[in-house]
């Protein structure tokens, strides 16, 4: 694992968030995925009890310098460490024993996994995490749905589907789009959490400071 992966802002973001969760319940000690079928950052801290995710074949690649054991019902336990890739059908009940935190790349879920395709995509994703953050912003995997980092924002291009794009703040100021901002009294920071009724309403837009819940 290239050393520079651990200092990529997307990786430090998820590590920091996991460190703040060590005393929470199992559900909150896992940072989950959006199942985009592209490499996504995810992680957990401490042991996670038996559960099923019921999505399909998934791949994960351990990025952090940490070790643990994956138990899946009816299978021999697998000890994992940095750089390992595991394929799992997550309809199978599973649990992990983990010392400290683990951060990995996740890819899935698939009805049938394709090992070659997955390994290629995961390898490219690792390489993207070794490159300069800003110049390779679009290609680097992230914790999907993560709170905005300080140099990011969402912009809306006034399209009817109301898609908003996550991008670098410095890039957004050059576009015709509208930067979504926090609706908390007097706050002008970019919104990290967007009102579910946007663009009809934006009262619930919140920056990372005024966002509720875990971040």
Give the Cα separation of 200 and 99 in Å (integer): 46
Q: What is the DSSP string of 113-169?
A: --HHHHHHHHHHHHHHTTS-TTTTTTTS---TTPPPPTTEEEEE---TT--EEEEEH
Distances (CA, A) of 138 to 76, 131, 157, 166: 39, 11, 18, 9
Among 131, 187, 194, 204, interactor with Zn ion by CB under 5 A:
187
Give the interface segment with Zn ion, choosing from 27-35, 124-132, 136-144, 177-185 (CB under 5 A): 177-185
Among 184, 198, 199, 204, interactor with Zn ion by CB under 5 A:
184
Residue 215 in contact with Zn ion, rule: CB under 5 A = no
Smaller CB separation from Zn ion, 63 or 191: 191
Report yes or no: 81 and 66 within 8 Å, Cβ to Cβ: yes
# chain residues binding Zn ion, by CB under 5 A: 6
Among 182, 192, 193, 205, interactor with Zn ion by CB under 5 A:
182
Residue 153 in contact with Zn ion, rule: CB under 5 A = no
Q: Which chain residues interact with Zn ion by CB under 5 A? A: 182, 184, 187, 189, 207, 210
């Amino acid at each position: 694992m290239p050393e520079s992966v651990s200092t990529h802002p997307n990786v430090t973001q998820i590590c920091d968030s996991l460190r703040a969760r060590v005393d929470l319940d199992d559900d909150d000690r896992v940072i989950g995925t959006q199942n985009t079928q592209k490499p996504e950052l995810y992680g957990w801290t401490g042991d996670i009890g038996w559960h099923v995710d019921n999505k399909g074949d998934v791949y994960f690649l351990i990025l952090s310098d940490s070790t643990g054991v994956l138990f899946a019902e009816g299978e021999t336990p697998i000890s994992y460490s940095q750089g390992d890739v595991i394929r799992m059908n997550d309809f199978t009940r599973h649990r992990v024993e983990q010392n400290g935190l683990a951060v990995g790349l996740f890819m899935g879920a698939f009805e049938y996994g394709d090992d070659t395709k997955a390994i290629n995509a995961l390898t490219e994703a690792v390489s993207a995490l070794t490159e300069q953050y800003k110049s390779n912003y679009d290609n680097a995997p992230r914790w999907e749905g993560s709170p905005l980092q300080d140099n990011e924002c969402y912009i809306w291009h006034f399209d009817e589907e109301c898609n908003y794009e996550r991008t670098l703040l410095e890039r957004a100021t050059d576009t015709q789009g509208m930067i979504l901002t926090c609706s908390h009294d007097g706050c002008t920071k970019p919104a990290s959490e967007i009102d579910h009724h946007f663009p009809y309403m934006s009262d619930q837009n919140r920056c990372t400071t005024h966002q509720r819940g875990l971040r």
